[in-house]
Amino acid sequence: MNFLKKLGITSKNFGSSTGTKWIKSTDQGELKIVSPVDGKQIASVYQASEKEYNKVIKTALTAFEFWKNIPAPRRGEIVRQIGLRLRDYKEPLGTLVSYEMGKSLQEGLGEVQEMIDICDFAVGQSRQLYGFTMQSERPMHRMYDQYHPLGIVTTISAFNFPVAVYSWNAMIAAACGDVNIWKPSSKVPLSAIATQKIISEVLQENKLPEGIFNLVIGKGSTIGERILNDKRIPLISVTGSTAVGRHAAEVISKRFGKTILELGGNNAIIVTPDADLKIAIPSIVFGAVGTAGQRCTTTRRVIIHESIYPKVKASLLKAYRSLKIGNPLDQKNHVGPLIDKDAVQLFSSALKQVKNEGGKIIQGGKVLSGKNYNSGCYVVPAIVEADNSYSIVQEETFAPILYLIKYKGNVENAIKIQNDVVQGLSSSIFTNNIREVEKYLSANGSDCGIANVNIGTSGAEIGGAFGGEKETGGGRESGSDAWKAYMRRQTNTINFGTALPLAQGIKFDI
Protein backbone atom coordinates (compact mmCIF):
# COMPACT_ATOMS: atom_id res chain seq x y z
CA MET A 1 0.00 0.00 0.00
CA ASN A 2 1.41 3.36 -1.04
CA PHE A 3 0.56 5.17 2.22
CA LEU A 4 2.62 2.63 4.19
CA LYS A 5 5.62 3.23 1.94
CA LYS A 6 5.33 7.01 2.37
CA LEU A 7 5.36 6.58 6.14
CA GLY A 8 8.31 4.21 6.17
CA ILE A 9 6.29 1.26 7.45
CA THR A 10 7.81 -2.01 6.27
CA SER A 11 6.64 -5.60 6.62
CA LYS A 12 8.62 -5.89 9.88
CA ASN A 13 9.22 -2.97 12.25
CA PHE A 14 11.07 -2.38 15.50
CA GLY A 15 9.14 -1.37 18.60
CA SER A 16 11.45 0.97 20.49
CA SER A 17 13.04 4.27 19.57
CA THR A 18 14.86 7.10 21.30
CA GLY A 19 13.66 9.65 18.80
CA THR A 20 16.55 9.69 16.40
CA LYS A 21 17.54 6.02 16.67
CA TRP A 22 15.71 2.69 16.59
CA ILE A 23 16.74 -0.14 18.93
CA LYS A 24 16.89 -3.29 16.85
CA SER A 25 15.93 -6.21 19.05
CA THR A 26 13.80 -9.22 18.10
CA ASP A 27 13.82 -11.45 21.19
CA GLN A 28 10.47 -10.42 22.74
CA GLY A 29 8.14 -11.72 20.10
CA GLU A 30 6.41 -10.24 17.12
CA LEU A 31 3.05 -8.45 17.06
CA LYS A 32 1.18 -9.21 13.86
CA ILE A 33 -1.11 -6.27 13.12
CA VAL A 34 -4.31 -7.15 11.31
CA SER A 35 -6.69 -4.51 9.99
CA PRO A 36 -10.30 -4.77 11.20
CA VAL A 37 -11.29 -3.31 7.83
CA ASP A 38 -10.54 -6.41 5.76
CA GLY A 39 -8.90 -8.90 8.13
CA LYS A 40 -5.56 -8.66 6.31
CA GLN A 41 -2.20 -8.40 8.04
CA ILE A 42 -0.72 -4.94 7.57
CA ALA A 43 2.74 -5.50 9.06
CA SER A 44 4.40 -6.78 12.21
CA VAL A 45 6.24 -5.15 15.11
CA TYR A 46 9.02 -6.57 17.29
CA GLN A 47 8.14 -5.82 20.90
CA ALA A 48 10.54 -4.09 23.25
CA SER A 49 12.31 -5.93 26.06
CA GLU A 50 12.96 -4.65 29.57
CA LYS A 51 16.58 -4.13 28.55
CA GLU A 52 15.46 -1.84 25.73
CA TYR A 53 13.07 -0.07 28.08
CA ASN A 54 15.90 0.69 30.49
CA LYS A 55 17.99 2.05 27.63
CA VAL A 56 15.15 4.34 26.61
CA ILE A 57 14.68 5.58 30.19
CA LYS A 58 18.39 6.34 30.64
CA THR A 59 18.51 8.14 27.31
CA ALA A 60 15.42 10.16 28.23
CA LEU A 61 16.91 11.19 31.60
CA THR A 62 20.05 12.46 29.85
CA ALA A 63 17.97 14.29 27.25
CA PHE A 64 15.91 15.98 29.97
CA GLU A 65 19.03 17.65 31.40
CA PHE A 66 19.56 19.19 27.97
CA TRP A 67 15.97 19.92 26.99
CA LYS A 68 14.88 21.66 30.21
CA ASN A 69 17.60 24.29 29.69
CA ILE A 70 16.50 25.15 26.17
CA PRO A 71 14.41 28.37 26.28
CA ALA A 72 10.71 27.57 26.12
CA PRO A 73 10.10 29.54 22.88
CA ARG A 74 12.90 27.56 21.24
CA ARG A 75 11.26 24.33 22.40
CA GLY A 76 8.07 25.69 20.92
CA GLU A 77 9.86 26.21 17.61
CA ILE A 78 10.66 22.48 17.45
CA VAL A 79 7.02 21.67 18.14
CA ARG A 80 6.04 24.13 15.39
CA GLN A 81 8.22 22.26 12.92
CA ILE A 82 6.65 18.97 13.98
CA GLY A 83 3.24 20.47 13.25
CA LEU A 84 4.41 21.54 9.80
CA ARG A 85 5.81 18.09 9.08
CA LEU A 86 2.54 16.48 10.17
CA ARG A 87 0.81 18.65 7.58
CA ASP A 88 3.03 17.08 4.94
CA TYR A 89 2.06 13.58 6.10
CA LYS A 90 -1.58 14.22 6.94
CA GLU A 91 -3.06 12.12 4.14
CA PRO A 92 -0.94 8.96 4.51
CA LEU A 93 -0.95 9.07 8.32
CA GLY A 94 -4.71 9.69 8.43
CA THR A 95 -5.19 6.78 6.04
CA LEU A 96 -3.07 4.50 8.23
CA VAL A 97 -5.03 5.51 11.33
CA SER A 98 -8.25 4.67 9.51
CA TYR A 99 -7.02 1.36 8.15
CA GLU A 100 -5.28 0.16 11.30
CA MET A 101 -8.01 1.19 13.76
CA GLY A 102 -11.11 1.02 11.57
CA LYS A 103 -12.45 4.54 11.95
CA SER A 104 -13.68 6.47 8.93
CA LEU A 105 -11.14 8.17 6.70
CA GLN A 106 -12.61 11.55 7.65
CA GLU A 107 -12.03 10.74 11.31
CA GLY A 108 -8.52 9.47 10.59
CA LEU A 109 -7.63 12.69 8.79
CA GLY A 110 -9.35 14.64 11.56
CA GLU A 111 -7.19 12.92 14.14
CA VAL A 112 -4.01 14.03 12.37
CA GLN A 113 -5.47 17.53 12.09
CA GLU A 114 -5.97 17.42 15.85
CA MET A 115 -2.26 16.70 16.21
CA ILE A 116 -1.47 19.67 13.99
CA ASP A 117 -3.80 21.90 15.99
CA ILE A 118 -2.29 20.90 19.33
CA CYS A 119 1.17 21.65 17.96
CA ASP A 120 -0.02 25.15 17.06
CA PHE A 121 -1.54 25.53 20.52
CA ALA A 122 1.66 24.34 22.22
CA VAL A 123 3.77 26.80 20.21
CA GLY A 124 1.76 29.70 21.59
CA GLN A 125 1.80 28.17 25.05
CA SER A 126 5.61 28.05 24.99
CA ARG A 127 5.61 31.84 25.39
CA GLN A 128 2.96 31.82 28.12
CA LEU A 129 4.15 29.47 30.87
CA TYR A 130 3.09 32.12 33.30
CA GLY A 131 3.05 32.43 37.09
CA PHE A 132 1.44 35.05 39.33
CA THR A 133 2.78 37.72 41.67
CA MET A 134 1.15 37.85 45.13
CA GLN A 135 1.27 40.64 47.70
CA SER A 136 3.42 39.85 50.73
CA GLU A 137 2.37 40.91 54.23
CA ARG A 138 6.04 41.59 54.99
CA PRO A 139 7.63 44.89 53.88
CA MET A 140 10.33 44.78 51.23
CA HIS A 141 9.26 41.27 50.16
CA ARG A 142 8.00 39.96 46.85
CA MET A 143 6.12 36.71 46.35
CA TYR A 144 5.43 34.92 43.11
CA ASP A 145 4.90 31.44 41.74
CA GLN A 146 6.57 29.88 38.73
CA TYR A 147 6.60 26.58 36.87
CA HIS A 148 9.55 24.33 36.03
CA PRO A 149 9.84 21.26 33.77
CA LEU A 150 8.80 18.06 35.49
CA GLY A 151 10.96 15.40 33.84
CA ILE A 152 9.90 12.33 31.91
CA VAL A 153 6.23 12.37 30.90
CA THR A 154 4.90 9.01 29.76
CA THR A 155 1.77 8.62 27.67
CA ILE A 156 -0.06 5.29 27.65
CA SER A 157 -2.58 5.67 24.84
CA ALA A 158 -5.60 3.59 23.80
CA PHE A 159 -6.48 2.01 20.46
CA ASN A 160 -9.44 4.27 19.63
CA PHE A 161 -7.26 7.36 19.12
CA PRO A 162 -3.96 5.94 17.85
CA VAL A 163 -2.15 9.31 17.62
CA ALA A 164 -4.20 12.33 18.75
CA VAL A 165 -4.27 11.75 22.52
CA TYR A 166 -0.53 11.14 22.49
CA SER A 167 0.01 14.53 20.89
CA TRP A 168 -2.19 16.27 23.49
CA ASN A 169 0.32 15.17 26.09
CA ALA A 170 3.60 15.04 24.19
CA MET A 171 3.52 18.39 22.41
CA ILE A 172 2.43 20.45 25.39
CA ALA A 173 4.85 18.58 27.67
CA ALA A 174 7.68 19.20 25.19
CA ALA A 175 6.93 22.92 25.15
CA CYS A 176 7.01 22.80 28.95
CA GLY A 177 10.52 21.31 28.90
CA ASP A 178 9.68 17.67 29.53
CA VAL A 179 10.83 14.67 27.54
CA ASN A 180 8.38 12.01 26.42
CA ILE A 181 8.00 8.25 26.43
CA TRP A 182 5.05 6.84 24.50
CA LYS A 183 3.59 3.39 25.06
CA PRO A 184 0.83 3.04 22.46
CA SER A 185 -1.84 0.37 22.40
CA SER A 186 -0.51 -2.92 21.05
CA LYS A 187 -3.60 -3.03 18.82
CA VAL A 188 -2.50 0.02 16.78
CA PRO A 189 1.31 0.34 17.02
CA LEU A 190 1.96 1.10 13.35
CA SER A 191 0.40 4.56 13.61
CA ALA A 192 2.73 5.27 16.53
CA ILE A 193 5.78 4.06 14.61
CA ALA A 194 4.84 6.27 11.66
CA THR A 195 4.40 9.28 13.96
CA GLN A 196 7.76 8.60 15.61
CA LYS A 197 9.46 8.55 12.22
CA ILE A 198 7.87 11.88 11.28
CA ILE A 199 9.05 13.47 14.54
CA SER A 200 12.50 11.93 14.05
CA GLU A 201 12.94 13.87 10.80
CA VAL A 202 12.52 17.17 12.65
CA LEU A 203 14.82 16.13 15.50
CA GLN A 204 17.60 15.12 13.12
CA GLU A 205 17.25 18.24 10.98
CA ASN A 206 17.72 20.35 14.12
CA LYS A 207 20.65 18.19 15.30
CA LEU A 208 18.90 17.48 18.60
CA PRO A 209 20.07 14.63 20.84
CA GLU A 210 18.18 11.39 21.14
CA GLY A 211 15.82 10.89 24.07
CA ILE A 212 13.43 13.85 23.75
CA PHE A 213 10.64 11.87 22.07
CA ASN A 214 10.76 8.14 22.80
CA LEU A 215 8.64 5.14 21.84
CA VAL A 216 8.26 1.77 23.56
CA ILE A 217 5.91 -0.90 22.22
CA GLY A 218 5.63 -3.87 24.54
CA LYS A 219 3.50 -6.09 26.69
CA GLY A 220 1.40 -4.51 29.42
CA SER A 221 2.40 -7.24 31.85
CA THR A 222 6.10 -6.37 31.50
CA ILE A 223 6.75 -2.96 29.94
CA GLY A 224 3.46 -1.49 31.15
CA GLU A 225 4.04 -2.54 34.74
CA ARG A 226 7.64 -1.32 34.65
CA ILE A 227 6.41 2.10 33.58
CA LEU A 228 3.81 2.27 36.36
CA ASN A 229 6.35 1.33 39.02
CA ASP A 230 9.26 3.40 37.73
CA LYS A 231 10.14 6.18 40.18
CA ARG A 232 12.11 7.93 37.45
CA ILE A 233 8.82 8.86 35.75
CA PRO A 234 7.07 11.66 37.68
CA LEU A 235 3.93 11.81 35.51
CA ILE A 236 2.01 9.19 33.55
CA SER A 237 -1.01 9.92 31.40
CA VAL A 238 -3.24 6.87 31.01
CA THR A 239 -6.13 6.56 28.58
CA GLY A 240 -8.18 3.40 28.91
CA SER A 241 -10.90 1.63 30.83
CA THR A 242 -11.80 2.47 34.41
CA ALA A 243 -10.34 -0.86 35.54
CA VAL A 244 -7.01 -0.09 33.85
CA GLY A 245 -7.00 3.42 35.32
CA ARG A 246 -7.80 2.22 38.83
CA HIS A 247 -4.89 -0.21 38.74
CA ALA A 248 -2.54 2.45 37.35
CA ALA A 249 -3.61 5.01 39.96
CA GLU A 250 -3.05 2.58 42.82
CA VAL A 251 0.43 1.59 41.64
CA ILE A 252 1.60 5.11 40.77
CA SER A 253 0.20 6.71 43.94
CA LYS A 254 2.13 4.25 46.11
CA ARG A 255 5.33 5.78 44.80
CA PHE A 256 3.85 9.31 44.97
CA GLY A 257 3.87 9.70 41.21
CA LYS A 258 1.39 11.90 39.38
CA THR A 259 -1.31 10.77 36.99
CA ILE A 260 -3.60 12.12 34.30
CA LEU A 261 -6.41 9.60 33.93
CA GLU A 262 -8.79 9.61 30.96
CA LEU A 263 -11.04 6.65 31.61
CA GLY A 264 -14.59 5.47 30.94
CA GLY A 265 -17.53 7.56 29.82
CA ASN A 266 -21.25 6.85 29.93
CA ASN A 267 -22.27 9.99 28.14
CA ALA A 268 -25.83 11.23 27.86
CA ILE A 269 -27.74 13.73 25.78
CA ILE A 270 -30.88 15.27 27.27
CA VAL A 271 -33.57 16.22 24.75
CA THR A 272 -36.23 18.55 26.16
CA PRO A 273 -39.53 19.66 24.59
CA ASP A 274 -37.82 22.92 23.60
CA ALA A 275 -35.10 21.17 21.58
CA ASP A 276 -34.44 21.87 17.92
CA LEU A 277 -34.59 18.34 16.56
CA LYS A 278 -33.05 19.39 13.24
CA ILE A 279 -29.70 19.64 15.00
CA ALA A 280 -30.37 17.21 17.85
CA ILE A 281 -30.95 14.13 15.70
CA PRO A 282 -27.73 14.30 13.61
CA SER A 283 -25.75 15.13 16.76
CA ILE A 284 -27.11 12.06 18.53
CA VAL A 285 -26.45 9.79 15.55
CA PHE A 286 -22.86 10.98 15.01
CA GLY A 287 -22.18 10.82 18.73
CA ALA A 288 -23.49 7.25 18.92
CA VAL A 289 -22.06 5.65 15.76
CA GLY A 290 -18.92 7.74 15.06
CA THR A 291 -15.80 5.58 15.41
CA ALA A 292 -18.31 2.69 15.64
CA GLY A 293 -19.16 3.73 19.18
CA GLN A 294 -15.54 3.44 20.34
CA ARG A 295 -14.91 6.94 21.65
CA CYS A 296 -14.71 7.75 25.32
CA THR A 297 -17.13 10.57 24.48
CA THR A 298 -19.52 8.37 22.48
CA THR A 299 -23.20 9.08 23.16
CA ARG A 300 -24.46 6.04 25.06
CA ARG A 301 -27.75 7.34 26.52
CA VAL A 302 -30.42 9.70 25.21
CA ILE A 303 -32.77 11.01 27.89
CA ILE A 304 -35.94 12.21 26.16
CA HIS A 305 -38.98 13.97 27.57
CA GLU A 306 -42.03 11.72 27.31
CA SER A 307 -43.99 14.31 25.30
CA ILE A 308 -41.55 14.15 22.38
CA TYR A 309 -40.28 10.61 22.88
CA PRO A 310 -42.27 9.06 19.98
CA LYS A 311 -41.09 11.74 17.55
CA VAL A 312 -37.43 11.50 18.59
CA LYS A 313 -37.57 7.71 18.49
CA ALA A 314 -39.03 7.72 14.98
CA SER A 315 -36.45 10.22 13.75
CA LEU A 316 -33.57 8.18 15.15
CA LEU A 317 -34.88 4.97 13.64
CA LYS A 318 -35.14 6.64 10.24
CA ALA A 319 -31.59 8.01 10.51
CA TYR A 320 -30.13 4.68 11.64
CA ARG A 321 -31.80 2.81 8.80
CA SER A 322 -30.05 5.11 6.33
CA LEU A 323 -26.56 4.39 7.72
CA LYS A 324 -24.10 2.82 5.33
CA ILE A 325 -21.81 0.25 6.96
CA GLY A 326 -18.59 -0.85 5.31
CA ASN A 327 -14.96 -0.11 4.51
CA PRO A 328 -14.14 3.14 6.33
CA LEU A 329 -11.75 4.20 3.56
CA ASP A 330 -14.81 4.56 1.33
CA GLN A 331 -16.14 7.98 2.29
CA LYS A 332 -19.68 6.98 1.30
CA ASN A 333 -19.84 4.76 4.40
CA HIS A 334 -20.84 6.12 7.80
CA VAL A 335 -19.80 3.23 10.05
CA GLY A 336 -16.69 1.09 9.93
CA PRO A 337 -15.71 -2.00 11.93
CA LEU A 338 -15.08 -2.53 15.62
CA ILE A 339 -11.42 -2.91 16.52
CA ASP A 340 -11.49 -6.73 16.78
CA LYS A 341 -13.65 -9.79 17.37
CA ASP A 342 -13.40 -9.39 21.15
CA ALA A 343 -15.16 -6.03 20.79
CA VAL A 344 -17.84 -7.70 18.68
CA GLN A 345 -18.36 -10.24 21.45
CA LEU A 346 -18.78 -7.46 24.02
CA PHE A 347 -21.35 -5.81 21.74
CA SER A 348 -23.38 -9.00 21.43
CA SER A 349 -23.10 -9.82 25.14
CA ALA A 350 -24.30 -6.36 26.17
CA LEU A 351 -27.35 -6.65 23.93
CA LYS A 352 -28.16 -10.07 25.33
CA GLN A 353 -27.88 -8.73 28.86
CA VAL A 354 -30.06 -5.67 28.25
CA LYS A 355 -32.77 -7.93 26.81
CA ASN A 356 -32.57 -10.11 29.90
CA GLU A 357 -32.98 -7.02 32.08
CA GLY A 358 -36.10 -5.93 30.23
CA GLY A 359 -34.76 -3.74 27.46
CA LYS A 360 -36.13 -3.79 23.92
CA ILE A 361 -33.84 -3.75 20.88
CA ILE A 362 -35.69 -1.67 18.29
CA GLN A 363 -32.93 -1.30 15.69
CA GLY A 364 -29.75 -3.12 14.67
CA GLY A 365 -27.73 -5.42 16.86
CA LYS A 366 -26.62 -7.92 14.22
CA VAL A 367 -23.08 -9.03 13.44
CA LEU A 368 -22.47 -8.74 9.72
CA SER A 369 -20.82 -11.39 7.57
CA GLY A 370 -20.19 -11.94 3.90
CA LYS A 371 -17.86 -10.65 1.21
CA ASN A 372 -17.75 -7.02 2.36
CA TYR A 373 -17.50 -7.90 6.06
CA ASN A 374 -15.02 -10.77 6.04
CA SER A 375 -12.97 -9.44 8.95
CA GLY A 376 -15.81 -10.40 11.31
CA CYS A 377 -15.66 -6.97 12.98
CA TYR A 378 -18.68 -5.24 11.44
CA VAL A 379 -21.95 -4.82 13.36
CA VAL A 380 -25.20 -2.95 12.83
CA PRO A 381 -25.41 -0.10 15.40
CA ALA A 382 -28.19 -0.79 17.88
CA ILE A 383 -30.92 1.32 19.47
CA VAL A 384 -32.40 -0.05 22.67
CA GLU A 385 -35.30 1.17 24.79
CA ALA A 386 -34.08 0.81 28.34
CA ASP A 387 -34.13 2.07 31.89
CA ASN A 388 -31.21 3.91 33.42
CA SER A 389 -31.22 1.54 36.39
CA TYR A 390 -30.29 -1.53 34.31
CA SER A 391 -26.85 -2.77 35.32
CA ILE A 392 -25.67 -2.94 31.70
CA VAL A 393 -26.81 0.66 31.10
CA GLN A 394 -24.75 1.69 34.11
CA GLU A 395 -21.66 0.26 32.42
CA GLU A 396 -19.72 1.56 29.44
CA THR A 397 -19.91 -0.89 26.54
CA PHE A 398 -17.33 0.24 23.99
CA ALA A 399 -19.55 -0.37 20.98
CA PRO A 400 -22.39 1.33 19.05
CA ILE A 401 -25.31 0.74 21.43
CA LEU A 402 -27.63 3.68 22.10
CA TYR A 403 -30.06 3.51 25.03
CA LEU A 404 -33.28 5.53 24.82
CA ILE A 405 -34.60 6.59 28.23
CA LYS A 406 -37.79 8.56 28.98
CA TYR A 407 -38.10 11.27 31.58
CA LYS A 408 -41.15 13.01 32.98
CA GLY A 409 -41.68 16.48 34.41
CA ASN A 410 -38.99 19.16 34.42
CA VAL A 411 -35.37 19.19 33.35
CA GLU A 412 -34.17 18.53 36.90
CA ASN A 413 -35.49 14.98 36.55
CA ALA A 414 -33.51 14.48 33.34
CA ILE A 415 -30.35 15.83 34.96
CA LYS A 416 -30.80 13.43 37.87
CA ILE A 417 -31.00 10.50 35.45
CA GLN A 418 -27.96 11.73 33.52
CA ASN A 419 -25.84 12.03 36.66
CA ASP A 420 -26.97 8.68 38.09
CA VAL A 421 -23.98 6.73 36.74
CA VAL A 422 -20.45 6.33 38.09
CA GLN A 423 -18.82 7.93 35.03
CA GLY A 424 -18.62 11.67 34.44
CA LEU A 425 -16.92 12.55 31.17
CA SER A 426 -19.11 14.26 28.57
CA SER A 427 -22.74 15.39 28.51
CA SER A 428 -25.08 17.50 26.45
CA ILE A 429 -28.52 19.09 26.47
CA PHE A 430 -30.62 20.14 23.50
CA THR A 431 -32.99 22.97 24.36
CA ASN A 432 -33.75 26.56 23.38
CA ASN A 433 -35.02 27.31 26.90
CA ILE A 434 -32.46 29.56 28.58
CA ARG A 435 -33.64 28.53 32.05
CA GLU A 436 -33.02 24.87 31.25
CA VAL A 437 -29.60 25.76 29.85
CA GLU A 438 -28.55 27.66 32.96
CA LYS A 439 -29.85 24.95 35.30
CA TYR A 440 -27.91 22.38 33.30
CA LEU A 441 -24.68 24.37 33.55
CA SER A 442 -25.11 25.31 37.22
CA ALA A 443 -23.67 23.58 40.27
CA ASN A 444 -26.91 21.58 40.40
CA GLY A 445 -26.64 20.55 36.75
CA SER A 446 -24.38 18.18 34.85
CA ASP A 447 -21.67 16.60 37.00
CA CYS A 448 -19.44 15.85 34.00
CA GLY A 449 -16.13 17.41 33.07
CA ILE A 450 -17.64 18.40 29.72
CA ALA A 451 -21.14 19.89 29.52
CA ASN A 452 -22.40 21.02 26.11
CA VAL A 453 -25.48 22.86 24.92
CA ASN A 454 -27.00 22.14 21.50
CA ILE A 455 -24.01 20.12 20.34
CA GLY A 456 -23.24 16.44 20.88
CA THR A 457 -21.04 14.72 23.44
CA SER A 458 -18.13 13.94 21.09
CA GLY A 459 -15.81 16.02 18.95
CA ALA A 460 -14.18 18.22 21.60
CA GLU A 461 -11.93 21.06 20.41
CA ILE A 462 -8.31 21.15 21.55
CA GLY A 463 -8.66 24.66 23.02
CA GLY A 464 -10.61 23.42 26.02
CA ALA A 465 -9.29 21.23 28.82
CA PHE A 466 -10.43 17.65 28.19
CA GLY A 467 -11.34 15.26 30.99
CA GLY A 468 -14.00 14.06 33.36
CA GLU A 469 -15.03 13.46 36.95
CA LYS A 470 -15.93 10.48 39.16
CA GLU A 471 -14.70 7.18 37.71
CA THR A 472 -13.62 8.94 34.50
CA GLY A 473 -10.49 9.85 36.43
CA GLY A 474 -10.44 13.59 37.04
CA GLY A 475 -7.45 14.46 34.87
CA ARG A 476 -7.29 17.17 32.21
CA GLU A 477 -5.41 17.22 28.91
CA SER A 478 -5.16 19.41 25.83
CA GLY A 479 -6.15 23.09 26.10
CA SER A 480 -6.93 25.81 28.64
CA ASP A 481 -4.43 25.56 31.53
CA ALA A 482 -3.92 21.78 31.29
CA TRP A 483 -0.23 22.56 30.65
CA LYS A 484 0.27 23.04 34.40
CA ALA A 485 0.03 19.29 34.95
CA TYR A 486 3.28 18.82 33.05
CA MET A 487 5.28 21.19 35.27
CA ARG A 488 6.21 21.45 38.92
CA ARG A 489 4.92 24.50 40.72
CA GLN A 490 7.18 26.57 42.93
CA THR A 491 6.34 29.48 45.25
CA ASN A 492 9.14 32.03 45.67
CA THR A 493 9.60 34.77 48.26
CA ILE A 494 12.34 37.36 47.91
CA ASN A 495 13.44 39.66 50.71
CA PHE A 496 15.05 42.74 49.20
CA GLY A 497 15.19 44.69 52.46
CA THR A 498 17.70 44.78 55.33
CA ALA A 499 15.41 43.44 58.07
CA LEU A 500 13.93 39.99 58.64
CA PRO A 501 10.23 40.38 59.48
CA LEU A 502 8.37 37.08 59.93
CA ALA A 503 4.93 36.21 58.65
CA GLN A 504 1.91 36.21 60.97
CA GLY A 505 3.64 38.82 63.12
CA ILE A 506 5.85 36.26 64.86
CA LYS A 507 8.71 37.73 66.90
CA PHE A 508 12.01 35.91 67.12
CA ASP A 509 14.79 38.09 68.54
CA ILE A 510 18.29 36.77 69.10
Active site residues: 262, 296
> E strands along 272-377, which residues?
299-305, 360-363
Using alpha carbons only, give the angle 408, 413, 418 rounded to the nearest 5 degrees: 115
Long-range contacts of 462-469, Cβ-Cβ distance < 8 Å, separation of 24 or more:
462/114, 462/117, 462/118, 462/121, 462/168, 463/121, 466/168, 466/262, 467/260, 467/262, 467/425, 468/262, 468/263, 468/265, 468/423, 468/424, 468/425, 468/426, 469/424, 469/425
In order of 311, 327, 467, 481, the CA distances from 263 in angstroms are 34, 28, 9, 20
Determine the 3-state secondary structure of 311 from DSSP.
helix
Q: How far apart are CA 74 and CA 76, in angstroms?
A: 5
Give the max Cα distance, the chain: 90
Long-range contacts of 410-415, Cβ-Cβ distance < 8 Å, separation of 24 or more:
411/270, 411/272, 411/436, 411/439, 411/440, 412/439, 412/444, 414/270, 414/272, 414/303, 414/305, 415/270, 415/439, 415/440, 415/444, 415/445, 415/446
Contact call for residues 239 and 473 (beta carbons, < 8 A): no
Q: Judging by beta carbons within 10 Å of its beta carbon (0-12, 13-18, 19+), is residue 324 exposed, middle or buried?
A: exposed
CB atoms < 10 A from the CB of 493, how many? Answer: 12
Residues 6 or more apart from 118 whose CB is under 8 A from it?
Answer: 164, 167, 168, 171, 172, 462, 478
